[in-house]
Structure 1
Amino acid sequence: MTVMGTARPAGRPRSERAEKAIVDATLDLIGEGTSVSELSIEAVAARAGVGKTTIYRRWANKEELVGDALATLKAPLPVVEGRTVREDLVAYLDVMRQDSLTLRTRCIMNIAMSEPDRHPNLYERFHKTAIEPRRVAMRAVLGRGVASGELRPDLDIELAIGMLSGTMLWYTKGAAHNNTPLADDLAARIVDEALRGFLSR
């Protein structure tokens, strides 16, 4: 017999706990070296302690699940209102640096993004949820700098984004390959060097 008015147990709702367990299981399996091609819904379900139907109620396929799981690894975008262009760019690039700090995260990102041709839906989903929002933010910062006269009026914004983010990725890839730490001031150094060419003269 159910007693009316009985308080619900404290903690996360059951559906949220199950979703977190599924995401964690996905990341654990990839972090342990399972490629996206080798990963199966059955293995994720077993690791998470849920049924396959629980997973399929939330994700239509493996690529959607992995894409959403990877997006949880990305550090949140910083609040940059009122900062200078330099400060904003350093903040955004440092988020990229922080994303690569842990060995587990680097391993997961390298494995999951190593097969874009075989898993185009995964790459597209990850790009939409984790990469494009950062490009949009950097595009807005650079555009504001051009409009205010802080940056050159003829600045190629898309190329500038590629130069800044590409340089940070080059360093993070090297750190992952050599298992070496990244300098805390790396973002500032990249931005300062780039701004030598970006600034209005």
Structure 2
Amino acid sequence: MTVMGTARPAGRPRSERAEKAIVDATLDLIGEGTSVSELSIESVAARAGVGKTTIYRRWANKEELVGDALATLKAPLPEIEGRTVREDLIAYLDVMRQDSLTVRTRCIMNIAMSEPERHPRLYERFQRTAIEPRRAAMRAVLERGVATGELRPDLDVEMAIGMLTGTMLWYTKGAAHGLLPGGVVPADLAPRIVDEALRGFRPS
């Protein structure tokens, strides 16, 4: 005799705890020096204490897993107040500065960005999920500044993005390689970069 009741959903719900363990294991292995090429699903499963099938239920391959894991390292996008271009640009650049503060983050990001030719799908995924959203947000701030007259009408927005982010990257990478005094990124770096850039971005 069949007992009537609420039907049980097909399959099992994903375990958030297992997913976190898998992502953390991936980041730890890469942070310890394992290259993306050397990383294996088997090694991640062993470190996370799960079976390989648990990983494959969520990620189709290693590149997808690494892409998602790397995306978690990026600090969340800041809330945009929209008061001034200066304030919003400082908020975005300071997120970049905070991204560089931990040794593990710096190590993993360097590895991830050094193998784009060998793992183009991973690089494209990382660009799409972690980098382009931040570039798009900064682009929107600059375009708004041009529209409101805070910035020059002929401003090259893409060039401006490169100048702002490139300068921050120059400092953060310099700190990581001991090229800055004390090896520390100054806490006030974001406003200093923005103020210097705005000297040329604003209408004369």
What TM-score comes out, normalization by structure 1 length? 0.92
Show the 5 A alignment for 1:1-201.
15-178=15-178, 180-201=183-204
User: CA separation in 2, counterparts of 1:75 and 1:197?
Assistant: 28
User: CA separation in 1, counterparts of 2:162 and 2:138?
Assistant: 10
One-letter amino acid of the structure 1 residue matched with residue 56 of structure 2: Y
User: CA separation in 1, counterparts of 2:71 and 2:203?
Assistant: 36
Q: Give secondary structure in 1 for the equivalent of 2:83.
A: coil
Give 1:82 deviation, angstroms: 2.9
User: CA separation in 1, counterparts of 2:57 and 2:123?
Assistant: 22
Give 1:14 deviation, angstroms: 6.1
Give 1:81 deviation, angstroms: 2.4
Q: Which residue of 2 aligns with 1:5?
A: none
Give the structure, 1 or 2, with the largest relative contact order (CA under 8 Å, sep 6 or more).
Answer: 1
Give 1:49 deviation, angstroms: 0.6
Could you list the runs of 4 or more consecutive aligned residues of structure 1 that deviate by over 2 angstroms after TM superposition? none
RMSD: 1.3
Q: Give secondary structure in 1 for the equivalent of 2:155.
A: coil
User: CA separation in 2, counterparts of 1:173 and 1:120?
Assistant: 23
One-letter amino acid of the structure 2 residue matched with residue 148 of structure 1: T
User: CA separation in 2, counterparts of 1:69 and 1:25?
Assistant: 9
Give 1:43 deviation, angstroms: 0.2
Give 1:170 deviation, angstroms: 1.1
User: CA separation in 2, counterparts of 1:56 and 1:114?
Assistant: 26
Q: Give secondary structure in 2 for the equivalent of 1:57.
A: helix
Q: Give secondary structure in 1 for the equivalent of 2:42.
A: helix
